[in-house]
C-alpha cells in the first residue's frame, strides 16, 4: 500500500466503494486522514463498515461541511451526462474533487528520493484500444530484462495498492479516460498514447471531450518522454503539440500503418516487421510475424508502443526482442485458446466497440465471426472494410436480429446465445479458418463483464471440441 499524506487529521470523503474507492480509503487512513465513505449500494456500504470505516451519507444537506476533498471512483460521472448529486453538492460547496490516480501521483511526488541512486519511474499508458496489452507487454519486457516493475491501474491492482517502489523500479500504469479526466496530479516520466477511436462519448460529451480527457496525461505533468501513436489525426496533433522541432526526440512517434519519415525518433510496423529509426537512420528491426502473443497489425502497434516505451527507459533492442517472444498475451484480447482440425479459435471478448472489432477482423483472412451484444454509440461503420474477411457471422445478444441486419453483405445467422453460436461456428469451420469472438458490442445485455463473456466462449468451445 502507498500511504497518502497531506490530509492528516482532515475528513476526506470517498464516493464509490469498489476496488479503487476502498483502496483510496485505506491509503488515506494510513496517511493519517479521517476518511468518510459512501456508496449508493447497501452491500458496498456494509463491506466498508465491516472494515471499520465511517459511513457518511453524501446526499444529505450539509454533507460536505468540514470535508477537505472528495475522492471519486472512476464509474461515477462528475460532469457528463450529468454529475452525480453528491459530486454536484461537493462542487457547490467548493470542495475539490480528485481520484485515486491523483492521490497516487501526489503521494509519489512527495517521496524521499534522496536515498535512491536510481529513483523509481512511472510509465502511464492510455488510448482507446490496446492499452491493456501494451501495459502488460511493457511490464513483461521489464521483468524479463531484470528490471523491478509493478503493473497497476485499469489492469490488475489499484494504483494505491502497489508496494512503495524501490531502487530503479518502474511502475507501469494503464489509465482509462475516466481516470485521466479527473486526476489532479498526472506526472509520469513516460506517457504513452496508443490510438483514439470513438468510445464513452456520453461520458465525455462527445469525441472532443474524450480526446481532451486522454490529452490531460500529457498536458498536466509534462512527461520526460511521450510515445504517441500517429495513425489517427488526434495522435498526429498531440505529437505536434509536444514536439519543439521535427528532430525533438522527447516524442517517439509510433505507427502500424507504415514507415514514418523525418529526423525524429520513430518506431513503426510494416509487413510484420518492427523498425526503429532515430536521427534519420535505422537503429533496429524485429520480425513480429513469429511473436505468437501479438497476432495481427493491431497487436503490432501495441508491440511498437511497448518497444518505444522500453527504449525510452534505456533497454536495448535485443533484450526487448527476446522478451517479445516469451509474451503470451492477455486473456480476452486476441487470445488463441485452441487449435483443432486446422482451425484456430480466438477469444477477443475485449473488442467491445466497432473499432476494436475491426482490428481483430483485419488480423485473420477467413473468419467464422461470433459478434453482437449491446451496441455502443458510434455504430458499426468501422467494420465495413474488413467484412470481406468474414465467411459467416453468428450473432448473439438480446438484439441479435437487429444487429445482424446492420452487417451488410455478410451472411449472418441469428444465434442469440453463446452456446448456439459456438456450436454452429465449430460445425461450419473449415481448415485454415479462424473462429473469432470479437463482439463489437458491450456485454451487459447478457453478461456482467466482457471477461465473463469470454470465459463463456472458452467454456462452450472446450465442451464442444471435447465432445467432437
pLDDT tens-digit map of 388-441: 999 999 999 999 999 999 998 899 999 999 999 999 999 999 999 999 999 999
Half-sphere exposure of 51 (CA within 13 A, CB side): 17
SS3 call for 392: strand
C-beta neighbour count of 125 within 10 angstroms: 32
What are the b/e assignments for 14-49, b being 16+ CB within 10 Å? bbbbbebbbbbbbbbbebebbbbbbbeeeebbebbe
Q: Tell me, what's the pLDDT at 112? A: 73
Start-to-end CA distance of the chain, whole Å, equals: 49
3-state helix, strand, coil in the chain (%, to 5): 35, 25, 40
Q: Tell me the pLDDT tens digit for each residue of 378-387.
A: 789 889 999 9
Q: Which band of pLDDT confidence, cut at 50, 70 and 90, is reported for residue 254?
A: very high
Cα separation, 242 vs 129, whole angstroms: 22
Give the closest residue to 141 by CA, choosing from 304, 359, 356: 304
Cα separation, 120 vs 125, whole angstroms: 17
To the question of whether residue 132 is assigned a binding role by annotation, the answer is yes
Give the closest residue to 460 by CA, choosing from 418, 414, 417: 418
Contact 56, 36 (CB under 8 A): yes
Cα separation, 29 vs 36, whole angstroms: 10
Give the closest residue to 161 by CA, choosing from 7, 20, 31, 14: 20
Q: Is 378 left (phi over 0), alpha (psi -120 to 50) or beta?
A: left
Cα separation, 321 vs 316, whole angstroms: 9
Q: How far is CA 149 from CA 138, 252, 306, in A?
A: 9, 22, 14
Mean per-residue pLDDT over the chain, rounded: 94
Q: In the block, which residue shows the cell 474524450?
A: 210
Q: Which band of pLDDT confidence, cut at 50, 70 and 90, is reported for residue 114?
A: low
To the question of whether residue 468 is assigned a binding role by annotation, the answer is no
To the question of whether residue 130 is assigned a binding role by annotation, the answer is yes
- pLDDT of 467 > 70? The answer is no
Q: Tell me, what's the pLDDT at 101? A: 97
Q: Tell me, what's the pLDDT at 357? A: 94
Q: What is the mean pLDDT of residues 134-151?
A: 97
Q: Tell me, what's the pLDDT at 334? A: 87
Q: To the nearest whole percent, how much of the chain has pLDDT over 90? A: 84
Q: Which residues pair with 153 in a beta bridge?
A: 174
Half-sphere exposure of 316 (CA within 13 A, CB side): 5
Q: Tell me the pLDDT tens digit for each residue of 355-377.
A: 889 989 998 999 999 999 999 87
To the question of whether residue 166 is assigned a binding role by annotation, the answer is no
Q: What is the mean pLDDT of residues 114-136?
A: 91
Q: What is the mean pLDDT of residues 248-259?
A: 95
Give the closest residue to 231 by CA, choosing from 271, 196, 279: 196
Q: Tell me, what's the pLDDT at 201? A: 86
Q: Tell me the pLDDT tens digit for each residue of 8-28.
A: 999 999 999 998 999 999 999
To the question of whether residue 349 is assigned a binding role by annotation, the answer is no
Q: What is the mean pLDDT of residues 335-342?
A: 92
C-beta neighbour count of 143 within 10 angstroms: 15
C-beta neighbour count of 395 within 10 angstroms: 27
Beta strand extents in 319-429 (DSSP E only): 335-340, 343-347, 367-371, 390-396, 412-416
Q: In the block, which residue shows the cell 466462449?
A: 457
Query: What is the DSSP secondary-structure string of 216-250?
Result: HHHHTT--SEEEEE-SSHHHHHHHHHH-SSTT-TT
Question: Which set of grid coordinates corresponds to residue 305?
Answer: 508502443
To the question of whether residue 129 is assigned a binding role by annotation, the answer is yes
Domains of the chain: 11-98 (3.40.50.720), 109-326 (3.40.1190.10), 335-467 (3.90.190.20)
Report the alpha-carbon angle 342-454-179, nearest 5: 130
Cα separation, 401 vs 416, whole angstroms: 8
With 0-12 CB in 10 A as exposed, 13-18 as middle and 19+ as buried, what is 255? buried
To the question of whether residue 131 is assigned a binding role by annotation, the answer is yes
- pLDDT of 468 > 50? The answer is no
Q: Tell me the pLDDT tens digit for each residue of 207-231.
A: 999 999 999 999 988 899 999 999 9
Q: What is the mean pLDDT of residues 152-179?
A: 94
C-beta neighbour count of 102 within 10 angstroms: 25
Contact 130, 305 (CB under 8 A): yes
Q: Tell me, what's the pLDDT at 217? A: 97
Amino acid at each position: 500500500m502507498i500511504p497518502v499524506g497531506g490530509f492528516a487529521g482532515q475528513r476526506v470523503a470517498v464516493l464509490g466503494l469498489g476496488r479503487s474507492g476502498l483502496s483510496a480509503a485505506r491509503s488515506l487512513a494510513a496517511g493519517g486522514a479521517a476518511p468518510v465513505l459512501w456508496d449508493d449500494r447497501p452491500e458496498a456500504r456494509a463491506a466498508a463498515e465491516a472494515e471499520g470505516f465511517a459511513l457518511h451519507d453524501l446526499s444529505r444537506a450539509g454533507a460536505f461541511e468540514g470535508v477537505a476533498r472528495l475522492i471519486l471512483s472512476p464509474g461515477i460521472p462528475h460532469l457528463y451526462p450529468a454529475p452525480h448529486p453528491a459530486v454536484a453538492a461537493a462542487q457547490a460547496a467548493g470542495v475539490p474533487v480528485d481520484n485515486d490516480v491523483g492521490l497516487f501521483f501526489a503521494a509519489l511526488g512527495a517521496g524521499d528520493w534522496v536515498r535512491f541512486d536510481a529513483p523509481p519511474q512511472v510509465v502511464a499508458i492510455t488510448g482507446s484500444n490496446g492499452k491493456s496489452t501494451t501495459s502488460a507487454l511493457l511490464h513483461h519486457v521489464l521483468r524479463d530484462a531484470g528490471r523491478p516493475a509493478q503493473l497497476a491501474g485499469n489492469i490488475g491492482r489499484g494504483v494505491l495498492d502497489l508496494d512503495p517502489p524501490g531502487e530503479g523500479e518502474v511502475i507501469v500504469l494503464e489509465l482509462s479516460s475516466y481516470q485521466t479526466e479527473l486526476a489532479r496530479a498526472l506526472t509520469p516520466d513516460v506517457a504513452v498514447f496508443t490510438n483514439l477511436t470513438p468510445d464513452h462519448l456520453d461520458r465525455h460529451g462527445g469525441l472532443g471531450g474524450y480526446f481532451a480527457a486522454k490529452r490531460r496525461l500529457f498536458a498536466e505533468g509534462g512527461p520526460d518522454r511521450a510515445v504517441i501513436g500517429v495513425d489517427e489525426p488526434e495522435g498526429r496533433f498531440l505529437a505536434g503539440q509536444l514536439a519543439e522541432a521535427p528532430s525533438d526526440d522527447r516524442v517517439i512517434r509510433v505507427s502500424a500503418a507504415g514507415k514514418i519519415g523525418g529526423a525524429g525518433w520513430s518506431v513503426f510496423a510494416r509487413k510484420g516487421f518492427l523498425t526503429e529509426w532515430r536521427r534519420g537512420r535505422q537503429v533496429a528491426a524485429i520480425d513480429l510475424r513469429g511473436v505468437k502473443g501479438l497476432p495481427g497489425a493491431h497487436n503490432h502497434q501495441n508491440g511498437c508502443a511497448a518497444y518505444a516505451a522500453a527504449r525510452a527507459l534505456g533497454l536495448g533492442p535485443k533484450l526487448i526482442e527476446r522478451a517479445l517472444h516469451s509474451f503470451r498475451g492477455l486473456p480476452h484480447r486476441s487470445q488463441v485458446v485452441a487449435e483443432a482440425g486446422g482451425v484456430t479459435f480466438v477469444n477477443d471478448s475485449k473488442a467491445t466497440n466497432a473499432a476494436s472489432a475491426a482490428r481483430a477482423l483485419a488480423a485473420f483472412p477467413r473468419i467464422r465471426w461470433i459478434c453482437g451484444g449491446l451496441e455502443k454509440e458510434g455504430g458499426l461503420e468501422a467494420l465495413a472494410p474488413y467484412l470481406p474477411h468474414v465467411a459467416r457471422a453468428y450473432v448473439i445478444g438480446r438484439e441479435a436480429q437487429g444487429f445482424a441486419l446492420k452487417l451488410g453483405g455478410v451472411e449472418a445467422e441469428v444465434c442469440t446465445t453463446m452456446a448456439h453460436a459456438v456450436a454452429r461456428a465449430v460445425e461450419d469451420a473449415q481448415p485454415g479458418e479462424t473462429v473469432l469472438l470479437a463482439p463489437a458490442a458491450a456485454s451487459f445485455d447478457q453478461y456482467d463483464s466482457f471477461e465473463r463473456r469470454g470465459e463463456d466462449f472458452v467454456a462452450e468451445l472446450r465442451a464442444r471440441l471435447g465432445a467432437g
